[in-house]
Amino acid sequence: MLDKFIEFRKTLSSYSLGQLNVAKYPIIPATKFYKSFVEFKNSFDAYTKSILKGKVYNDRQRADTIFKDNFKSEAAFISRLKIELAVANEYIQFLGTQVNKSNIKRYYHQLSVLTIDIDLLIGNIEVYLLKNVKKYKLSGGRRPTQDPWEIYFAAWSIFDIERFEYTNELHVRDTKPASIFLIRQTIEIYGKKILGYSRIIDKDGRPSKKHTHVAWSFIINEIKKKKSRIDIPFDPEVVEKIYTWSNSYVHTTLYPSCYIVYAALSMLEPLFKASSIPIQIYNGKEFTRFFFAAIKISNYASLKRSFKLFLNNNKPKGDINIEWIDIKNVDSYVLKR
């Protein structure tokens, strides 16, 4: 696998220099570029399978591992490498379904970022997991954080995206991290939509900033009860871990490997898998809500009272209040008012 990876990395470099009209580096044709990518993709798949030997990791195992940076033991770090390898391979195989001869040049920037991330992963695997070598020399690297000007440029690029005639004119490193912020916002708003409120108000009558994802903490606590009033078809603890990770990026700009971002997006897909059959709600009507999972709530009035107590640390006359939306606009299926 290493030889195919090195060859692909060289192809990327030659392509870049060719685009800059460096004399001794001719422009790489798309067919050669694509062929090199496919060979790398296939060899990485074989490399992954030879190490994992059929081991499959569920979303909870992934969320418990790839969204944190500190590990208490070598065994925990090794487990991280294996799960990261599985995730990286899934992303590379996903790219294999998106990239073709006609569009591969549009993926140049992203493939360049990918090779940097994969280089570091392979180095760790070869040294610490397989112990094939004592040292592994990286071919390059990238800054782990973003500067304010990069974030500002990204905001302008997205807002004024029409000015770019070709997608490869966009600087991927600047713009793609914005997806992590959108992941955070998705999770925050989705939690509100489950319970049916628009905002939380503090004792001074102002929107509370410290309760941005409290809905998920409440939901996790609720579904652990023997008679839970919420029936949810995915693991909310996975969602909360992704939120914590994405929130960390917002405040630190520590940009993770591109395949970790892919994993986060993939693990959120169940939130938007609609029910395949109509569901009857409290008023007798049956319908299917599109782009929202089949989350069912019973005893809604009781659940709302419990949520307010939860926010006020079980004080019935607490100062924190909730602005509830009309029950008709609640995205969950309210079975009983």
| Number of alpha carbons in the 13 Å side-chain half-sphere of residue 312 | 18
Displacement of CA 313 from its chain's centroid (Å) = 31
Is the distance from CB of 48 to CB of 86 less than 8 angstroms? yes
What does the DSSP 8-state code read for residue 198?
E
Angle (deg, nearest 10), helices 74-98 and 258-267: 80
Instruction: Please answer whether residues 14 and 144 qualify as being in contact, where contact means their C-beta atoms are separated by less than 8 angstroms.
Output: no
Q: Which of 122, 118, 96, 121 is nearest to 107 (CA)?
A: 96
Task: Give bridge partners of residue 333 from the DSSP assignment.
Answer: 296
- Check residue 20 and give its pLDDT: 56
User: CA–CA separation, 136 vs 139, rounded Å?
Assistant: 10
Which residue in the block uniquely carries the two structure tokens 């060859």? 7
8 Å CB contact between 125 and 85: yes
Burial class (CB in 10 A: 0-12, 13-18, 19+), 210: exposed
Task: Tell me the pLDDT of the chain (337 aa) as tens digits.
Answer: 788 999 999 888 887 766 655 556 667 788 999 999 999 999 999 999 999 999 999 999 999 999 988 888 999 999 999 999 999 999 999 999 999 999 998 898 899 999 999 999 999 999 999 999 999 988 888 888 888 888 888 888 888 888 877 666 666 666 788 899 999 999 999 999 999 999 999 888 888 877 888 999 999 999 999 999 999 999 999 999 999 999 998 888 888 999 999 999 999 999 999 999 999 999 999 999 999 999 999 999 999 999 999 999 877 777 889 999 999 999 999 998 8
Token reading at 6: 């090195």
* Cβ atoms of residues 294 and 275 within 8 Å: yes
pTM over 0.75: yes
Q: What does the block give as tokens for 221?
A: 């606590």
Return all residues near 136 (Cβ < 8 A) that are at least 6 apart. 122, 123, 124, 126, 127
Whether 227 contacts 303, CB under 8 Å: no
Structure tokens at 312: 């006020």
